[in-house]
């Protein structure tokens, strides 16, 4: 029988092996993440957008694959261990020391938690084997300097931007670098003039890392004036004639939407993510840190940061969870805490008629959205498992509803409500309620943007399915976003048809369709009948988006998508050169 000292040495050796295994597993993940991210530059230069979409999906799936591989390795190492939980507890302390010198150590800790939660199927937080929220908090906001380039204004902005564009080289020529510089200078001069006659540009700071997403590259930074600061994003497009600036974005609101929770993730190869997050936060102070991590492609860290901030908020608040505003859904139970701008969505045990889907269908729809180009119109949902809250933080009617309609997901354990599976999303104003309460000009703008949301989704090969206003929300920027995914599908999966003409008066009087309707048949001419628009909203919608009611629009679009010709959905108002406007000027499309 081995001696106590011998057993201690074996344990220490195994703890060390677990520490290095988990460290190396995260390093492997991070290395592969960086390799995929760095491909974006080549995709942009070669305009290989289809390969870029494949890269985006591969990078999204990478984390779970690496966690699964690490779980298998840990299981193999601990298969003969009598108390693996105690062993992982010791490994956690060893692991914390091991990773302390690496950039972004909080990422290592989040990865460690992901592995242990899979192994022990943790409910809530198990401080014995995982890092608690305070320990995972980003640690390097002020410790390290951002990799950036600062350009001083020495009297003429055109010289400043000539220097800057020289620093950002691509394997493709500029279309007309002199005209690009003149236009960028004119845009910033116009913005500066709007601030007053004394406003001057002192310097421009740009992150060294170029941000890539879809068909665009972005230079991200800020302008510092004599007594003012503004965000600055320069959008670059690669055309047949070369690269040119497609937009100069200076509004905090516009930049915030570019980094928003309805956008696909950037591919940006930053050396220290936490310092990049801190920089973006400095130019977008209203943007939650969790969303910045997520839009940089670090979705797991964004999820961790959201949980950390939620946990902190729960400790320092007393209000109770209530039903979210809006019509009660047949598929999801939705609730919120009034003091935070989030909603929790839980899949019901059973779906009321006429829903003919099952739970797995809903999970598949969310997975589709997670992998798809959200085109600025699909809300990003974070999937959580095994959350727990004090039962007395729920209103009685909500708690009763959760325990009855979501009994497969929600259980009481003592004084805790355990939620086995949920989605967290940003809380929006339901469009149907917004249209009832808004001012006339806001109603008109929302109706127009509702049509644009349907169009943008369609261009990205998404058909919302259920176009009822209650399934859309309005952001604080006034943008209309789709958030009910149970009937969402691809445009290329739909069969768009024109309504057949009635054969006689009997057909006209039938309550249902007198003709055959297949499971994938869509009749665009009927859309507006079911929306419940008030007159002014209907008029605005038809004025700007009447073609969405024409089956030919959808049939033509489907054919384009089937041949790989995806129309662009740009997250800003693009501009183009105009011979009429003269050299160096752009006009809005």
Q: Which residues are catalytic?
A: 380
Contact by Cβ (8 Å): 157, 188: yes
Judged on CB neighbours under 10 Å (0-12, 13-18, 19+), 142 is: exposed
Evaluate whether 218 touches 234 at the Cβ level (below 8 Å): yes
* Cα gap 333→326, rounded to integer Å: 11
Confirm if 344 and 424 have CB atoms less than 8 A apart. Answer: yes
Radius of gyration of the chain measured on its C-alpha atoms: 27
Burial class of residue 212, CB neighbours in 10 A (0-12, 13-18, 19+) = buried
C-alpha 418/C-alpha 574 separation (Å) is 47
DSSP state of 47: T
Record the tokens describing residue 275, joined without a space: 């310092």
Smallest CA-to-CA distance from 345 within 359, 357, 331, 355 is with 331
Report residue 303: phi and psi, to 5°: -65, -45
Q: Taking a C-beta distance cutoff of 8 angstroms, is the pair 434, 327 a contact?
A: no
CA 55 → CA 2, 42, 215, distances in Å?
A: 52, 12, 13
Report the phi/psi class of residue 532: left, alpha or beta, with left for phi > 0 and alpha for psi in -120 to 50: left
CB 415 within 8 A of CB 391: yes
Q: Which residue's structure tokens are 């201690």?
A: 8
Whole-angstrom Cα distance, residue 235 to residue 122? 44
Select from 51, 62, 79 the least CA-distant residue to 28. 62
Neighbours of 21 (CB within 10 A): 17
Residue 463: CA atoms inside 13 Å, Cβ hemisphere, count? 22
SS3 per residue for 138-170: CCCCCCCCCCEEEEECCCCHHHHHHHHHHHCCC
């Amino acid at each position: 029988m081995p001696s106590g000292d011998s057993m201690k040495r074996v344990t220490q050796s195994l703890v060390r092996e677990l520490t290095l295994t988990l460290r190396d597993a995260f390093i492997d993940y991070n290395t592969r993440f960086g390799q995929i991210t760095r491909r974006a530059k080549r995709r942009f230069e070669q305009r290989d957008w289809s390969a870029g979409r494949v890269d985006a999906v591969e990078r999204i799936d990478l984390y779970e694959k690496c966690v699964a591989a690490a779980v298998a390795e840990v299981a193999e190492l601990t298969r003969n261990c009598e108390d693996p939980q105690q062993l992982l507890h010791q490994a956690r302390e060893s692991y914390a020391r091991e990773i302390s010198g690496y950039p972004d150590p909080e990422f290592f800790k989040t990865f460690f938690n992901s592995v242990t939660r899979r192994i022990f199927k943790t409910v809530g937080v198990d401080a014995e084997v995982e890092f608690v929220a305070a320990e995972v908090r980003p640690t390097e906001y002020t410790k390290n300097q951002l990799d950036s380039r600062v350009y001083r204004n020495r009297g003429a902005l055109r010289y400043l931007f000539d220097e800057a564009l020289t620093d950002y080289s691509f394997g493709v020529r500029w279309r007309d670098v002199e005209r690009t510089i003149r236009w960028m200078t004119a845009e910033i001069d116009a913005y500066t003039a709007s601030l007053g006659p004394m406003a001057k540009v002192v310097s421009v700071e740009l992150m060294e890392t170029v941000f890539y997403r879809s068909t665009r590259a972005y230079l991200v930074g800020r302008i510092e004036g004599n007594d003012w600061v503004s965000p600055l994003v320069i959008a670059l497009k690669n055309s047949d004639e070369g690269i040119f600036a497609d937009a100069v974005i200076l509004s905090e609101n516009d930049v915030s939407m570019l980094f928003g929770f309805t956008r696909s993730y950037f591919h940006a190869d930053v050396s220290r993510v936490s310092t990049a997050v801190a920089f973006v936060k400095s130019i977008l102070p209203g943007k939650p840190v969790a969303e910045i991590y997520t839009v940089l492609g670090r979705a797991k860290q964004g999820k961790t940061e959201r949980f950390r901030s939620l946990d902190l908020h729960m400790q320092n608040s007393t209000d109770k969870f209530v039903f979210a505003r809006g019509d009660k859904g047949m598929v999801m139970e939705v609730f919120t805490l009034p003091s935070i701008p989030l909603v929790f969505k839980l899949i019901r045990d059973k779906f009321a008629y006429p829903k003919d889907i099952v739970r797995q269908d809903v999970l598949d729809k969310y997975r589709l959205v997670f992998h798809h180009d959200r085109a600025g119109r699909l809300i990003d949902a974070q999937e959580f498992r095994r959350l727990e809250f004090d039962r007395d933080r729920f209103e009685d009617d909500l708690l009763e509803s959760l325990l009855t309609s979501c009994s497969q997901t929600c259980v009481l354990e003592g004084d805790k409500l355990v939620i086995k599976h949920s989605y967290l999303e940003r809380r929006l104003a339901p469009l149907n309620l917004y249209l009832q309460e808004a001012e006339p000009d806001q109603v008109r703008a929302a109706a127009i943007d509702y049509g644009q949301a349907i169009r943008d989704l369609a261009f990205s090969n998404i058909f919302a399915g259920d176009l009822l206003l209650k399934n859309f929300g309005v952001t604080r920027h006034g943008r209309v976003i789709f958030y009910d995914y149970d009937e969402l599908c691809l445009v290329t999966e739909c069969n768009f048809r024109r309504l057949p003409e009635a054969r006689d008066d009997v057909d006209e009087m039938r309550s249902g369709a007198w003709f055959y309707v297949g499971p994938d048949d869509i009749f665009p001419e009927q859309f507006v009948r079911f929306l419940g628009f008030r007159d002014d909203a209907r008029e605005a919608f038809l004025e700007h988006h009447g073609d969405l009611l024409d089956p030919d629009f959808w049939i033509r679009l489907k054919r384009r998508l089937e041949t790989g010709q995806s129309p662009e959905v740009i997250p800003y108002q693009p501009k183009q050169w105009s011979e009429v406007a003269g050299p160096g000027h752009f006009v809005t499309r």
